[in-house]
Chains A and B, each alone.
Chain A
Amino acid sequence: GQNIDQPTEMTATEGAIVQINCTYQTSGFNGLFWYQQHAGEAPTFLSYNVLDGLEEKGRFSSFLSRSKGYSYLLLKELQMKDSASYLCAVTDSNYQLIWGAGTKLIIKP
């Protein structure tokens, strides 16, 4: 079956760095997305990886290793507003999105 795993919850300190991991097992692979979702709101797009390596976008970076079925989202210089759920999603061979359960990130002062 298709499966995406990511930690349920993580806690980090304001100003610090946090890495949220995601492992996946899917029928084919056509890209991996990271979305941010604040409570009560719809998800917003953060990043897209289809090739191995690191994609950097401001304070956020996303890494992909297709051979390992692994990705991580790296958040630097954490701000209180970064408290949210972070969803990992993989597009399979049919371009269907398979969603992880999300990682709730709690930022403490």
Chain B
Amino acid sequence: GAVVSQHPSWVICKSGTSVKIECRSLDFQATTMFWYRQFPKQSLMLMATSNEGSKATYEQGVEKDKFLINHASLTLSTLTVTSAHPEDSSFYICSARATGGGDTGELFFGEGSRLTVL
């Protein structure tokens, strides 16, 4: 199946710093990528939809100036958590939907990135 790679898997940073997380589709082109956040024992929460070549669409309650999303190519989307605070500590997961015909809507997930802000 399709492979989505996410990096880094783990990151620890100091409060006030910025952290960038990369999401790459390795063997397919992804017009659309999704960024999720998951707190312990909770389900996935969609943060934003990243569209190649255009601005991301953010879900209600997600600060677009804090969570910067860039989708500069069909195989790479990045999420930058700016001025991170301890409450931003979470598991961030990206997913991608393959382009082309026969799209069932199936998502392929990255491995996830666990962010801990001290």
Contact = CB atoms under 8 A, between A and B. Distances in A.
B44 A95 contact: no
Interface residues of B, number: 20
B105 A42 contact: no
Given A42-B93, A42-B110, A42-B112, A31 B104 contact: yes
A60 interface: no
B114 interface: yes
Q: How large is the interface on A (under 10, 10 to 19, 20 to 34, 35 or more residues)?
A: 10 to 19
A45 B98 CA distance: 14
A99 interface: yes
Interface string B70-92: 00000000000000000000010
Chain A facing B: main interface SS: loop
8 contacts: A30-B105, A33-B105, A33-B107, A40-B112, A41-B112, A42-B93, A97-B46, A99-B43
Nearest to A44: B109
A82 B14 CA distance: 37
Interface in B44-64: 44, 46
A77 B112 CA distance: 29
Contacts of A100: 43
A48 interface: yes
Given A42-B111, A43-B44, A33 B93 contact: no
